[in-house]
Structure 1
Amino acid sequence: MMIALFTDFGLRGPYVGQMKARLFSSGFAGPVVDLLHDGPAMDPRAAAYLLEPFSRYLPEGAVVLAVVDPGVGTEARDGCVIRADGRWFVGPDNGLFEFVQRRAAEVERWPLPAAPEGASPTFHGRDVFADIAAAVAIGTWRSEQAAAGGPRFPDWGDDTPYVLYIDDYGNAMTGIRGEALADTAILQAGEHRLVHATTFGRMPAGAGFWHRNSSGLVEVSVNLGHAAHTFDLAPGSLVRLLRP
């Protein structure tokens, strides 16, 4: 079975490596896939809009170990295990799994007990969630009867018109589902009006546009250019809908 990792840890420090090592020391011997490690830092809500589409292409039975956890080690948040449409999710119960639950046809949810004695209060990803994710993947995890899963943050909109992630090419990914916009929609990024194109080569070199990216989200791009630099975009920048 596969375990996929989704975090805001970044790749420059020790945290991803330590969490992977804990998976293997917990008895997991299968593949570990890195979905994302530079997710919206310390922002479970923004990360939640990315986690659902990014995990959509994982095979049934895959386990997603997801950690964007600014409340780590406090009484303000619990941990949870979620089974949504045949995939498993392990991590903090802070809204990170909101859209996984909201968009799944079948959801079960298990709250996790308090962190075990000796667990680092600042690294539950390694000392709590990795052990549980490994046990789920191996098939040794046991818990009480599942509770019904579903939206826990109903005030969070189904879409959000903000830039959530900028990739190495400068493409600016928003939290708007591509299916929510018609091809005739015009967006505004900074002072620039953007029309739709299906792909980069449909636009002249240096031209900006919006498209539905490979994860199904609305993305602002520049053909043969860097949209974030061109339009002065950063995570949190607003993208306005001028014409539906």
Structure 2
Amino acid sequence: MKNGGVFILNKQLVIQTDFGTCDGAVSAMYGVAVSVDPTLRISDLTHEIPQYNIWEASYRLYQTISYWPEETVFVSVVDPGVGSERRSIAVKTATNHYIITPDNGTLTHIKESVGIIEARIIDEHENCLPQTGNSYTFYGRDLYAYTSARLAANILSFEEIGATVPVESIVELPKKRASLQDQTVVGNIDILDVRFGNLWTNIDEDLFKQLEVTYGDLCEVTIENDARQVYKHVMTFGRSFADTHVGEPLLYINSLYTIGVAINQGSFAKAYHIGAGAQWKITVRKVSPGILS
């Protein structure tokens, strides 16, 4: 965009939804953004968030955001409460990225693991797509795509979006921290690596290494769903999937430097009917050689 004879480079705009791509919803959001500024650089984070799954939307933002340039604008629309009293919010992260989203828990992982330094309520009267009529069911197009595109195109400053609100007031989903208890690491299955069926936990590499585990060691892994045991077995801690035979399970450090659970060339999630979220508990303990239980 040109401002007073000086060209200002537009920010990146990255879009995430649970809309899928089988109809025109995502295309409509693109259309609004391009109508704001045809030179915008727009990318998709994903449109395959399971319907209404705010937890997964939160995690996918956390998984992705730090790999984008500073000042990238993210818009995330997983909004089962669209048209209700839930707030629409814009935030600036500690990594100098912007997120436009419903204030419904979508910022849970960002707030805890990345950090939010400023939050503003989106003024829905000032920032809504003109001539949208009386429809209150497609804020993704009419409010979020329009506002995020104007922010990315430097038409609207972050300060002009709306009034500031305390960062502490941002809605968060229940989220437990991993811990070390009696030489056992206890955590949760945060998310599934959907395409391959691997389990990604909230046990980070540093916490896991307090078990004094090295590559090739055996660990006993127990998985529970609301206190009901679903899985218990001994497996190898490996560098990669090639450290076990095809069809065998293993522990590994995933791309976010947390502990993952996988089956070499198989889907762990499908094999044992395992999901993700706060109710899915995982415990890991090192097994001494010759002592399997």
Per the normalisation by structure 1, the TM-score is 0.85
- Please say if residues 205 and 223 of structure 1, whose CA atoms lie closer than 8 Å, have aligned partners that are also in contact: yes
- Please say if residues 190 and 202 of structure 2, whose CA atoms lie closer than 8 Å, have aligned partners that are also in contact: yes
Shift of 1:104: 3.4
Partner of 1:18: 28
Unaligned 5+ segments in structure 2 are 1-10, 179-186, 214-218, 224-229, 287-293
| Residue of 188, 191, 194 corresponding to 2:222 | 188
| Residue of 113, 138, 154 corresponding to 1:123 | 138
- Please say if residues 28 and 138 of structure 1, whose CA atoms lie closer than 8 Å, have aligned partners that are also in contact: no
Q: Which amino acid aligns with 1:171?
A: N
Shift of 1:147: 4.0
Partner of 1:240: 282
| Residue of 79, 85, 100 corresponding to 2:88 | 79
Shift of 1:163: 5.2
1:114 aligns with 2:132: no
Distance 1:177 1:80 in 2: 29
Partner of 2:189: 162
Structure 1 residues 180 and 127: CA distance shift in structure 2, 3 A: farther
Structure 1 residues 58 and 239: CA distance shift in structure 2, 3 A: same
Deviation string 1:105-158 (CA, Å, 9 cap, x unpaired) is: 551111112364626322111111000110110112123564442473385334
**Displacement over 6 Å in runs of 4+:** none
Distance 1:28 1:217 in 2: 39
Partner of 1:208: 249
Deviation string 1:79-114 (CA, Å, 9 cap, x unpaired) is: 011010210000101111122123335511111123
Partner of 1:226: 267
1:149 aligns with 2:167: yes
Q: Classify the secondary structure of the residue corresponding to 1:60.
A: coil
Q: Classify the secondary structure of the residue corresponding to 2:239.
A: coil
Instruction: Choose between structure 1 and 2 for higher RCO, CA contacts under 8 A separated by at least 6 residues.
Output: 1
Write out aligned runs for 1:41-80 (5 A): 41-75=51-85, 77-80=86-89
Partner of 2:114: 104
Structure 1 residues 70 and 29: CA distance shift in structure 2, 3 A: same
Unaligned 5+ segments in structure 1 are none
CA RMSD in angstroms comes to 2.8
Q: Classify the secondary structure of the residue corresponding to 2:237.
A: coil
Distance 1:179 1:119 in 2: 52
Distance 1:201 1:26 in 2: 49
More strand by share: 2
Larger-Rg structure: 2
Distance 1:110 1:20 in 2: 24
Deviation string 1:14-61 (CA, Å, 9 cap, x unpaired) is: 322222222112225232222222224313234323321321211101
Structure 1 residues 180 and 58: CA distance shift in structure 2, 3 A: farther
Q: Which amino acid aligns with 1:16?
A: V
| Residue of 34, 51, 65 corresponding to 2:44 | 34
- Please say if residues 88 and 122 of structure 2, whose CA atoms lie closer than 8 Å, have aligned partners that are also in contact: yes
- Please say if residues 15 and 46 of structure 2, whose CA atoms lie closer than 8 Å, have aligned partners that are also in contact: yes
Structure 1 residues 72 and 21: CA distance shift in structure 2, 3 A: same
Deviation string 1:154-213 (CA, Å, 9 cap, x unpaired) is: 853346613533422222334554444337364334324244322111222111123222
Q: Which amino acid aligns with 1:170?
A: G
Q: Which amino acid aligns with 1:53?
A: Q
Distance 1:169 1:8 in 2: 20
Q: Please say which of residues 197-206 and 26-35 is displaced more in the overlay.
A: 26-35
